């Protein structure tokens, strides 16, 4: 499978509470960890057993090198990751409170340099039977080009995160659209919080083009809506430490399962398990062996 997306270094700051404007609070701890929605999804997909080719752009700095080495250590193929000369690797500043909730500010750095030519380098893979997994944390032309290059045998899994309105022709090429409650509500135009609302949103969003829609609901699991399928899949219960990257783990594992030939429902179950497991530890690539961290 091919993952096209962002790669960041996450500065994960644990706090008792977030400051109000103008206030300073002391952190409980700081870790630097691998992040970026694309990299997180590639990581999860590799752990789920898929052969993953990652298309991304990092800076020509040590942080970029280190993160790519980490991805490679779990089997992600990084030959299509470009080191953009003179750029810094993307950074994300994440605060996590004791309830596991986070907020994130991303400085895109080299991710902003990912272009159509980078994606063209994966054209030979996308032309064949493969799964393309994309998100929206890189410039739109790169995502659009990847979907455009996906041939008739390719299946497109699109995680609409961070939310952005997409042209109908792109959504029409999507096999599985993965959105969380916030993204589903933004696209649908009504709030999504319950399983029933997610189901209704899923039906409505299918009307925008994708063959199947999966709406994730955090601890409440996910719903899948496709031809002849309307199912709520609960999340395995877990003691939540940090929800960062749970949606990425879900999408990566789901796409990997599809690439390995499993049906949509089984893929959603696996995604829910991986997403849930990720929340039990700090960091977006928490389930992965070999994730390094620096503590202070």
- How many residues at the interface with ligand RIB, by CB under 6 A? 15
With tokens 């969003």, the residue in question is 205
Min dist CB 12 to ligand RIB, Å, is 9
Tokens of 105: 């500010």
DSSP 77: B
Min dist CB 178 to ligand RIB, Å, is 12
Query: Which of 2, 31, 32, 37 touches ligand RIB by CB under 6 A?
Result: 37
Question: Footprint of ligand RIB on residues 263-292 (CB under 6 A)?
Answer: 284
The residue among 147, 172, 132, 179 whose CA lies nearest residue 38 is 132
Query: Which of 70, 118, 137, 181 touches ligand RIB by CB under 6 A?
Result: 137
106 binding ligand RIB? (CB under 6 A)? yes
With tokens 């929605």, the residue in question is 37
Query: Which of 13, 72, 104, 112 touches ligand RIB by CB under 6 A?
Result: 104
- Note if 248 is an active site residue: yes
The residue among 262, 237, 216 whose CA lies nearest residue 49 is 262
Contact 129, 154 (CB under 8 A): yes
* Comparison of 150 and 282: residue with beta carbon closer to ligand RIB: 282
Helix crossing, 264-278 with 37-47: angle to 10°?
Answer: 110
**Other Cβ atoms closer than 10 A to 121:** 13
Min dist CB 36 to ligand RIB, Å, is 5
- Residue in 60, 103, 248, 263 annotated catalytic: 248
In whole angstroms, give the CA distance from residue 286 to residue 102: 15
**What residues are annotated to the active site?**
248
Using CB under 6 A as the criterion, which residues of the chain lie in contact with ligand RIB when the complex forms?
Answer: 6, 8, 10, 35-37, 40, 92, 104, 106, 137, 244-245, 248, 284
């Amino acid at each position: 499978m091919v993952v096209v997306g962002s790669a960041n270094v996450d500065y994960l700051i644990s706090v008792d509470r977030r400051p109000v404007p103008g206030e300073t609070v002391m952190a409980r701890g700081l870790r630097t960890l691998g992040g970026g929605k694309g990299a997180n999804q590639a990581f999860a997909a590799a752990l789920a057993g898929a052969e993953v080719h990652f298309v991304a752009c990092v800076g020509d700095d040590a942080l970029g090198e280190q993160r790519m080495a980490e991805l490679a250590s779990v089997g992600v193929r990084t030959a299509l990751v470009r080191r953009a000369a003179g750029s810094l690797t993307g950074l994300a500043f994440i605060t996590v409170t004791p309830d596991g909730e986070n907020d994130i500010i991303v400085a895109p750095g080299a991710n902003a340099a990912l272009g159509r030519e980078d994606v063209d380098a994966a054209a030979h893979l996308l032309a064949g039977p493969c799964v393309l997994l994309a998100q929206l944390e890189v410039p739109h032309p790169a995502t659009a080009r990847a979907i455009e290059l996906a041939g008739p045998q390719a299946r497109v899994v699109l995680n609409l995160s961070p939310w952005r309105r997409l042209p109908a022709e792109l959504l029409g090429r999507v096999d599985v659209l993965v959105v969380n409650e916030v993204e589903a509500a933004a696209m649908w135009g009504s709030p999504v919080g319950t399983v029933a609302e997610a189901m209704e949103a899923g039906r409505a969003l299918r009307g925008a083009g994708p063959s199947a829609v999966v709406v994730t609901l955090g601890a409440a699991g996910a719903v899948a809506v496709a031809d002849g399928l309307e199912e709520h899949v609960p999340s395995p219960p877990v003691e939540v430490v940090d929800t960062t990257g749970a949606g990425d783990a879900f999408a990566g594992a789901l796409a990997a399962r599809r690439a390995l030939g499993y049906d949509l429902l089984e893929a959603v179950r696996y995604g829910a398990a991986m997403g849930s497991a990720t929340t039990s530890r700090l960091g977006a690539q928490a389930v992965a062996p070999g994730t390094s961290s620096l503590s202070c």
